[in-house]
Amino acid sequence: MTKIACGAGLGLLGLIVSACGDPCGAAEDRLVPLTELPCNMTSAEGVWESHPFPPISDAQCYWLEFRGCSEYQVEHPLGRAPIQVLGYTSFDQNGSFSTPASGNSFVVQDVSDSSVTIRNGQNQLFYLRLTLD
């Protein structure tokens, strides 16, 4: 009887785990070229911004969709590796109620003179604004 109960318990556990599915089902690893960031700008001080802060009046300037469990290689025009990489995340594409990104929702994987690779380790969709200095 114990073997039957144990076998049934393991079978039920397998059914529960498979019913949950892949928590990162919408993951997307990709290159984000500058052409996808039409509102990017570099200040006179040499700080590059991927998107403006709100209010955003032009839909082409909405923040970058940053899917959960994904890695994005974002191109930048600095011509040098940035010394500071800062991200802001929001649940709204227009950047409303944004906060500095932290923890595993914004992990800097690599920096170079032409791109920055970041990872969203959360299973949560955010919208991202990136600042490089």
The predicted-structure confidence for 6-34, as pLDDT tens digits, reads as follows 554 544 444 444 445 666 777 899 999 99
Region 104-110: mean pLDDT is 97
Taking a C-beta distance cutoff of 8 angstroms, is the pair 67, 120 a contact? Answer: yes
Q: Rounded to 5, what percent of the chain is helix, strand, coil?
A: 20, 30, 45
Residue 16's contacts (CB-CB under 8 Å, 6 or more residues apart) are none
The identity of residue 11, as a single letter, is G
Query: The tokens 């690599």 sit on which residue?
Result: 110
The predicted pLDDT at position 13 comes to: 44
**What residue spans define the domains of the chain?**
26-132
Global pTM value? 0.81
pLDDT band for 47, please (50, 70, 90 cuts). Answer: very high
CATH code for residues 26-132: 2.60.40
The values of phi and psi at residue 13, to 5°, are: -60, -45
DSSP state of 8: H
| Rounded-to-integer distance, Cα 26 and Cα 128, Å | 17
Higher-scoring residue by pLDDT: 45, 13: 45
Region 72-97: mean pLDDT is 98
